[in-house]
Amino acid sequence: MGASFPVLQPVSEPIPENPAARGAARARWPWPLALALFVLFWQFGEDFAKSAFSYPRAFEIPAARWIGRATKWLVDEASFGLFTFTDLTRFLAEIIDVPYRVALGLLSSGLLSGQGSSAVQHLPPLSWLAVLAIVALIGHHAGGARLAALVTACFGFLVIFGQWTSAMVTLASIVVAVPIGVVAGLLLGLAAWRWSFFERVLVPVLDLMQTIPVFAYLVPVLVFFGFGPTAAIVATLIYALPPMARVTILAMRSVPAEIRDLGNMVGCSRRQMTWKVMVPSAKDSLMVGVNQVIMLSLNMVIIASMIGAGGLGFDVLAALRRLDIGAGLEAGLAIVALAVALDRLSQAYAEKAGRPAAGLPASGGLVSRHPYLLAALAIVVATFLAGLAVPALQSFPESWQVSTGTFWSEVVRWINVNFFDTLEAIRNVILLNILVPLKRLLGDLPWAGVVALLALSGYRLGGLRLAALVGALSFLIAATGQWEKAMITVYLCGISVVFACLIGVPLGILAAERERLWRWLQLVIDTLQTLPSFVYLMPVVMLFRVGDFTAMIAVVAYAVVPAIRYTVLGLQRVDPRVVEAGRAMGCTQRQILAKIKLKLALPEILLGLNQTIMFALSMLVITALVGTRDLGQEVYIALTKADTGRGLVAGLSIAFIAIIADRLISAGANRIRERVS
Amino acid sequence: MASSEPKLVCRGVWKIFGAGGRSLAGPSAARLTSAELRAAGAVGAVRDVNIEVREGEIFVIMGLSGSGKSTLVRCLSRLIEPTSGDILFNGENLLAASEARMIEIRRHQMGMVFQHFALLPHLTVLANVAFPLEIQGIERAAREERARRMIDLVGLSGRENAFPRELSGGQQQRVGIARSLAAEPELWFLDEPFSALDPLIRREMQDEFLRLQSVLKKTIVFITHDFDEAIRLADRIAIMKDGEIVQAGTPEDLVLNPATPYVAEFTRSVARAKVVKVAALMRPLNGTLPPTSIRASAPVAEAAPLFSQGAETLAALDGAGTPVGLIDRAAVVDVMMRG
């Protein structure tokens, strides 16, 4: 599955040799000393340095208010001379809205005139039979009969399980969002490739777009574009576009220099160079970006429904709110079915782009030149006429539909009735003995001390620049008054990551040696990754009710995937010759694992840890729905109040935590890698 | 054979990569060694190159990797902007030409063949060959007609609708050659065109290249790292080392009078008999004309078998078949024995 997730790109900046850091590393004293100082300060410092424990309110940076005011100014007053900012957002909304209405008309609502409930339907939408047949045709065109069967089965699932209406609404927004995202990403990437100053501006923006939790920018999008499908598509675009821009920059760079020389030698103008030489030569890599845009758009389906996307995402969200696990699971699986179908289709087209075409005859009649197009048209007409005669062919009758919803609800109820005491005991033990004490401990720490410790680790791992970055970001979290909530985020994230690693790393070690186990495990983690993250929440909430423990379980289930995957990859990538040498020296299996494989795989495993943290943070925001008290909750509250400043500040704080963790761990991994190779 | 009209003149051309290149380049830098340049934070990829390429000749630039030959050929076509110097093409200074003028010149007067073929993977053979014409805005029927002729010329008829990755390396380079000829350029650059091919195919392509040139009579700048290839194909050779031209001359010049030990290193293993022409060994006519004869422009190696029938002296003929001199068995044996 080519699915991808809201995670930070691992940053692998080469860590510059830093003689000062080297010297410090040689001297062993800084850590014990620093820790001792920290503990002393923490225990006895509160009396004489109060402001180091709780950031003084008077010095707080009122970032939320500034942002709020700036938003208000943008909406009410900002003007670019000829047009106002509001005109601009309205214009953008219109660009998205027109194709969306066409797509929605085709797939879901039919051709309407009039507004709201007084709308009159002139033409029905494409019937389920027509969509199924057209999807099969596209599948056949892209990858032959097998692919056609697969995508038809996926869409068939939607029909049979009664998800059709919602699925078509979702599909309509995907069909609009993906081309816009691809084109915009391509143009941005091309611009960055062409003008290096633009790249210098764009890349940090892309970094930020990918680290800020989606919730945070839902708020400004909501303020600027209003509640509805248009705003949802805008949010989807912000989320799904960065990888396309990145892939474009990379793809342009990797076009061989000779091809560029060729373009110049035949006398291409700049435009010809871009569109006739560079873009077609990079088509294979660009298709990877297209696939990413599709998958990320589908990832956004549920979150986007919070600002009015409707469709399957809304169904999941509604089911979650009324704790209807069956309905939620089915709608969630319907999203997976859509994702699988679209993913396979786009991958097949990517492969086809790389392969020479069989070559349809350029001459000949209309039929032989456009067989697929004509077949599709024939299907549309035939199913339209059939739909008039037999209504069941127009919209799939409810009595034919199947639902497993009640079954799942029954399962959960049964578990609850029979195992309530056991589950409750597990929950309480972990909650009282681990979660609560840890939460209290982290909450008590003086912020100034933590900032200093972070900066010290930054210095030891990557020199002054990293120390300054880490220190500044953590200070900003405190200075904007987010410290307490940030600590709850850190505690929830930290404990989840520990559990995820405790489960994931041993599993990875086991699976790395056992081909069959790994194959099964891969299937499981692929499914875990493709399931919309909200789907995890429901069964957990039903078993453990709302609260930190529930949030932790959901986060662990989601974040265990990279822990397993990177461990396996790291171990499998260990040079077999080194292992052979170990065996020749008479190492036991255990020694080979502990002394050779794990040591060499450590950088990969650390990268896995990095990804685990990123996954955990992105899931943590979603668990705000089940009543955590962390930054995610702050963002969620801001969303319901449409408070841009509050939402962005909390969102940025989460992004800062992610960046701090990412840079520190990457620096550590680089350091180890340098030593190993 | 080559006329003496200079088609492309390259005067004092420098290309210095790295900071401060422009201030370093020029006559004053001529004495700087590459080590001194490197100390100044720059790399002299092309250093004070002066060459003249005459109309209709095959001018080979030969050098090992890193000698700057690829940079030089890209300076000649201005794919890389030289740091200083003049490049005159038909008397026009290319370095003073505007971008639009350069596009014009490249479209109509220059063609280039690349080491790794640089075929566009998404286009068929036909479309690849027609590509330069498409860029010029020539309509489909006309450009495809011309492209078919070029494909025919390089012997690939029947593969018009194949895609590059379906072809062998040799076939791909034939497409590259056809494409570079499609716009009917006067000046033809070939940048190590056969280096990526197997030895047998390389030989075959060299023959093919000579056959094409005998028909087309283009002015050619040919880059190679293979001295044998240079000897086989060149009318004149320039040998490059560390960005400088060490020696330029006919293959015969280089073999008989290497200017430096570096050049001698290359020429040592070359069989002289294959390079030295009959004309270089002949003595004046003295009245009697031996019955057997050979062209004066032929390499000595071709004369050798003719002596096996017992002849002591051969007549050397010019292009029109008129005797111009005599050549003795002893002189030929002497060249052959020296390797």
Residues in chain A within 8 Å Cβ distance of B184: none
Cα dihedral B265, B269, B275, B276 in deg (nearest 10): 80
Model confidence at A117, pLDDT cuts 50, 70, 90, reads low
B122 and A353 within 8 Å at the Cβ level: the answer is yes
Dihedral sign, Cα of residue A266, residue A272, residue A274, residue A278? negative
Cβ separation of A265 and B110 shorter than 8 Å? yes
Instruction: Indicate the DSSP class of residue B239.
Output: E
Output the pLDDT for position B105: 92
CB contact under 8 A, A265 and B77: yes
Q: Which of A262, A269, A353 sits opposite B103 (nearest CB)?
A: A269
User: Which residues in chain B touch residue A256, judged by CB atoms under 8 angstroms apart?
Assistant: 116, 118
Q: In a structure prediction context, what are the per-residue pLDDT tens digits for chain B, which is 339 residues long?
A: 444 578 899 988 888 887 655 565 555 555 566 666 666 666 778 888 999 999 989 999 999 888 889 899 999 989 888 888 899 999 899 999 998 999 999 999 999 999 998 999 888 999 999 999 999 999 999 999 999 999 998 989 998 899 998 899 899 999 999 999 998 999 999 999 998 888 888 888 999 899 989 888 899 999 999 988 998 899 999 999 988 899 999 988 888 888 999 999 888 888 788 888 888 888 888 877 888 888 887 888 888 888 877 778 888 888 778 888 888 888 888 888 776
Structure tokens at A141: 């065109």
Closest Cα of chain A to B119: distance in Å? Answer: 7
Residue at token pair 């490059």:
B240
Q: Give the CA angle between residues A398, A400, A404 to the nearest 5°.
A: 90
A266/B79 CB distance under 8 A? no
Neighbours of A518 (CB within 10 A): 18
Asked if B301 and B231 count as a contact pair (C-beta separation under 8 A), the reply is no
In chain A, whose CA is at the least distance from the CA of B161? A359
**A257 or A373, which is more confident:** A257
Report the alpha-carbon distance of residue B85 to residue B88 in Å, rounded.
10
Which chain B residues touch A264 with a CB distance below 8 Å?
77, 79, 106
Q: Which residue does chain A place closest to B180, by CA atoms?
A: A266
Pairing relation of β-strands B6-18 and B84-89? antiparallel
Can you list the domains of chain B with their CATH numbers? Answer: 52-272 (3.40.50.300), 274-337 (3.90.1280.20)
**Could you tell me which CATH number the domain at A407-444+480-676 has?**
1.10.3720.10
Token representation of residue B57: 């000749």
Query: A269 touching B, CB under 8 A?
Result: yes
Tell if the CB–CB gap between B131 and A353 is shorter than 8 Å.
Answer: no
Q: Does A267 touch chain B (CB under 8 A)?
A: yes
Strand partners, B245: B240
| Amino acid B133: pLDDT | 93
Interface touch A356/B162, C-beta < 8 Å: yes
- Per-residue pLDDT tens for A417-431? 888 888 888 888 888
Question: For residue A280, how many other CB atoms are within 10 A of its CB?
Answer: 17
**DSSP-derived secondary structure letter, B94:** G
Question: Is 70 exceeded by the pLDDT of residue A444?
Answer: yes
Note whether B77 contacts A: Cβ–Cβ < 8 A. Answer: yes
Nearest to B82 by CA among B70, B72, B91: B72
Structure tokens at A533: 């993250």
- With beta carbons under 8 A apart, name residues in chain A contacting B120: 259, 262, 277, 280-281
CB B5 within 8 A of CB B54: yes
At residue A332's C-alpha, the angle toward residues A326 and A336, to 5°, is 140
Nearest by CB: B116 against A256, A266, A281: A256
What percent of chain A is predicted at pLDDT more than 90? 11
Is A276 within 8 Å of chain B by CB?
yes
Question: A15 pLDDT exceeds 80?
Answer: no
Backbone Cα Rg of chain A = 27
Closest CB from A265, A268, A353 relative to B112: A265
- Between A and B, how many CB-CB pairs are < 8 A? 70
Q: Within an 8 Å CB–CB cutoff, is residue B259 touching chain A?
A: no
Task: Determine the Cα–Cα distance for residues A552 and A537; give it in Å rounded to an integer.
Answer: 10
Q: What DSSP character marks residue B179?
A: H
B58-63 vs B219-224, strand pairing mode: parallel
A374 neighbors A360 (Cβ within 8 angstroms): no
Q: How many helices (H) and strands (E) does chain A have?
A: 31, 2
User: Model confidence over A280-337: pLDDT tens digits?
Assistant: 888 888 888 888 888 888 888 888 888 888 888 888 888 877 877 788 888 888 888 8
Chain A nearest-CA distance from B144, in A, is 14
CA distance A286 to chain B (A): 13
Determine the distance in angstroms separating the CA of A262 from the nearest CA of chain B, rounded to an integer. 7
Nearest to B114 among A258, A281, A353 (CB): A258
Beta carbons of B120 and A259 less than 8 Å apart? yes
Task: Using pLDDT thresholds of 50, 70 and 90, give the confidence band for residue A546.
Answer: confident
Mutate to test the interface with B, among A255, A265, A287, A355 (most CBs of B within 10 A): A265
Do the beta carbons of residue A398 and residue A157 sit within 8 Å?
no
- Cβ neighbours of residue B58 under 8 Å, at least 6 residues apart? B213, B220, B222, B233, B234, B235, B236
pLDDT at A16 over 50: no
- Give the whole-angstrom CA distance, residue A570 versus residue A598: 8
* Model confidence band, residue A171 (pLDDT cutoffs 50, 70, 90): very high
Q: What is the DSSP letter of A460?
A: H
A268·B110 Cβ contact <8 A? no
Contact B106 A266 (CB under 8 A): yes
Among B124, B132, B163, whose Cβ lies nearest the Cβ of A266?
B132
Region A191-210: mean pLDDT is: 87
Q: Do A280 and B107 touch (CB under 8 A)?
A: no
Using a 10 angstrom Cβ sphere, with 0-12 exposed, 13-18 middle and 19 or more buried, the burial of residue B19 is: exposed
Closest to B69 in 3D by CA, of B203, B214, B173, B195:
B195
Q: B183 CB near a chain A CB, below 8 Å?
A: yes
Minimal Cβ distance to B122: which of A267, A280, A359 = A280
Question: How far is A516 from A523, CA to CA, in rounded Å?
Answer: 11
Query: Given this model, what pLDDT does residue A369 score?
Result: 67
Percent helix, strand and coil across chain B, each rounded to 5? 40, 25, 35
3-state secondary structure of A1: coil
Q: Of the candidates A261, A269, A354, which has its C-beta nearest B118's C-beta?
A: A261
**B299, β-bridge pairs:** B277
What is residue B32's three-state secondary structure? coil
* Interchain proximity B103–A277, CB inside 8 Å: no
Q: Does B106 touch chain A (CB under 8 A)?
A: yes
Q: Tokens 């474009």 label which residue? A: A248
Backbone angles phi, psi at B294, to 5 degrees: -150, 155
Give the residue from chain A lying closest to B74, CA to CA: A261
Asked if the Cβ–Cβ distance from A258 to B103 is below 8 Å, we say no
Chain B nearest-CA residue for A272: B135
- Within an 8 Å CB–CB cutoff, is residue A361 touching chain B? no
Contacts of B115 in chain A (CB under 8 A): 258
CA dist., res. B112 & res. B220, Å (int):
10
Would you say residue A8 has pLDDT above 70?
A: no
Pairing mode, strands A111-113 and B236-241:
unpaired
The answer to whether residue A360 neighbours chain B at the CB level (below 8 Å) is no
Question: Residue B24: what pLDDT?
Answer: 59
**Token pair of A384 as six digits:** 């339209």
Give CA–CA dist B191/B205, Å, rounded.
14
Q: How confident is the model at residue A1 (pLDDT cuts 50, 70, 90)?
A: very low
Output DSSP code: residue A124. P
Outline where DSSP puts E strands in chain B.
6-18, 42-54, 58-63, 84-89, 92-93, 110-113, 187-191, 219-224, 236-241, 244-249, 293-295, 313-317, 323-328
Output the pLDDT for position B23: 60
Cβ partners under 8 Å of residue A25, min gap 6: A460
Strand pairing report for B244-249 and B236-241? antiparallel
Average pLDDT, chain A: 81
**Using one digit for the tens of pLDDT, what is the confidence trace for A24-72?**
444 556 777 778 887 777 777 777 667 767 777 777 777 778 888 888 8
E strands of A90-174, at which residues?
Answer: 111-113, 120-123
A280 touches chain B (CB under 8 A): yes
Enumerate the residues of chain B whose CB falls inside 8 A of the CB of residue A276.
131, 134-135
Per DSSP, B164 falls in state G
Task: Measure the CA–CA gap between A308 and A314, rounded to whole angstroms.
Answer: 8
Buried b (16+ CB within 10 A) or exposed e, A527-558: ebbbbbbbbbbbbbbbbbebbbbbbbbbbbbb
Interchain contact A272–B (C-beta under 8 A)? yes
Q: Is the pLDDT of residue A114 over 70?
A: no
Contact between A191 and A58 (Cβ < 8 Å): no
Which residue(s) pair with A79 in the sheet?
Answer: A84
Task: Look at A259 and B165 and tell me if their CB atoms are within 8 Å.
Answer: no
Residue-level pLDDT at B175: 94
Q: Is A126 helix (H, G, I), strand (E, B) or coil?
A: coil
User: Which range has the top average pLDDT, A248-252, A297-301, A403-407?
Assistant: A248-252
Computed over its alpha carbons, how large is the radius of gyration of chain B?
22
CA distances for B235 relative to A328, B54, B132, B239, angstroms: 80, 10, 28, 13
**A183 has pLDDT over 90:** yes
Q: How far is CA B16 from CA B29, B48, B87, B224, B328, in A?
A: 11, 10, 16, 22, 52
* Any B CB within 8 A of A264 CB: yes
Chain B interface, best mutation among A266, A279, A286, by max B CB count within 10 A: A266
Do A340 and A158 form a contact (C-beta atoms < 8 A)?
Answer: no
The minimum CA-CA distance between B150 and chain A, rounded to whole Å, is 16
CA distance A430 to A436: 9
Do residues A212 and A655 lie in contact, with contact meaning Cβ atoms separated by under 8 Å?
yes
Name the amino acid, one letter, at A267. G
Exposure on the CB side of residue B88, measured as CA atoms within 13 A: 14
Domains of chain A by residue range: 407-444+480-676
Q: Is A266 on the interface with B (CB under 8 A)?
A: yes
Are the Cβ atoms of B106 and A258 closer than 8 angstroms?
A: no
Chain A interface, mutation test: which of B72, B102, B103, B186, most A Cβ atoms within 10 Å? Answer: B103
